[in-house]
Amino acid sequence: MLVLNATYEPINVCTVRRAAVLLLKAKAEVVEHANWELRSEHTAMPRPVVIRLVQYVRVPRDTHRRKITRRAVFARDGWECQYCGTRAQLTVDHVIPRSKGGTSTWENIVASCAPCNRRKGDRLPKVADMHPRLTPRAPHPDVFIRVASPTIPAAWRPWLPEAA
């Protein structure tokens, strides 16, 4: 389920169970629902697809502080190697190797296929003559919605920015 803030800004993805709890506690309302219902012994409710929180929740947007995960790096880089463009055997690569003083930050980590990662090895980009296609940077917050759900349901599209 896509979770929207009170301002209709997408902020998270949650399970059907979590969405139902938020709805039953009146902390959220259904914006889009499926054609079938969730049923219990005493009640039935439309199955939520997009919910909106009733009260505004302040969401930290400092992506520099967000945890760097492989999936987040892959989503930020469009699920393709930043050296050759392939989509197979993805790994992560430190542009400036940690042994050469590189840090584990968004600005120094890119998606790389295994062959390119091995070919670059423990060398600097200039020495290996391998430079990332795009300059690595902290991702837009919407990338974390794509990480939670790599395939975006059609009902979510009106609520997400074009980039998602």
What is the C-alpha to C-alpha distance for residues 161 and 142, in angstroms, rounded to an integer?
A: 8
Identify the CA nearest to 33 among candidates 149, 145, 153.
Answer: 153
Q: How far is CA 13 from the centre of its chain?
A: 10
Straight-line distance from the first to the last Cα atom of the chain, in angstroms, rounded to the nearest whole number:
15
User: What is the tens place of the pLDDT at every residue in 128-137?
Assistant: 999 999 999 9
How confident is the prediction along the chain (164 residues), in pLDDT tens digits per residue? 899 999 998 988 889 999 999 999 999 999 999 999 999 899 899 999 999 999 999 876 665 567 788 988 998 898 999 999 999 999 999 999 999 999 999 999 999 999 999 999 999 999 999 999 999 998 877 777 777 776 788 899 898 876 44
